[in-house]
Amino acid sequence: MDTIWILLMTPIFLCSLILCINKLSHKLKSKHRNQLPQGTLGWPFIGETIEFVSCAYTDRPESFMNKRRAMYGKVFKSHIFGSATIVSTDADVNKFILQSDAKVFVPSYPKSLMELMGESSILLINGTL
């Protein structure tokens, strides 16, 4: 009788344990997802770089930003030039970030662009420099 009880209760216990772990991990993931703006990271590794660059060679280079601004709002996430990126198209947000003297936000560029611009580029200088 004891072995039958164990055989019946073991699968029930394991299923309930798996469901609890799944529910807990979903809650933890959803908390972290809420901290980032909406958007998509595109394809693995290349992200949305191809579409971003191809829009630059059209008669409407701003179409990449306009499309995402319409879908996700003025601040959105993307994956451009090999890095996950937060893009802001809002003038007030940009002004706040650029005037913060790198105390709240540190503007940065993907590693591939930093290597192209060089470490003494004016775009890479933060703080009192």
Tens digit of pLDDT at every position of the chain (129 positions): 567 767 766 767 666 656 656 666 666 665 555 577 888 888 877 888 888 888 888 888 888 888 888 998 899 888 888 888 888 888 888 888 777 766 677 667 777 777 887 777 777 676 666
pLDDT attached to residue 20: 57
The neighbour count for residue 89, using CB atoms within 10 Å, is 15
pLDDT attached to residue 24: 62
pLDDT attached to residue 45: 77
For residue 87, list its beta bridge partners: 76
pLDDT attached to residue 16: 63
Q: Give dist(CA 66, CA 60) in Å, integer.
A: 10
**Burial 28-55, CB ≥16 within 10 A → b, else e:** eeeeeeeeeeebeebeeeebbbebbeeb
The neighbour count for residue 81, using CB atoms within 10 Å, is 19
For residue 88, list its beta bridge partners: 75
pLDDT attached to residue 31: 57
Structure tokens at 88: 């802001």
How far does the chain reach from its first CA to its final CA, in angstroms?
Answer: 79
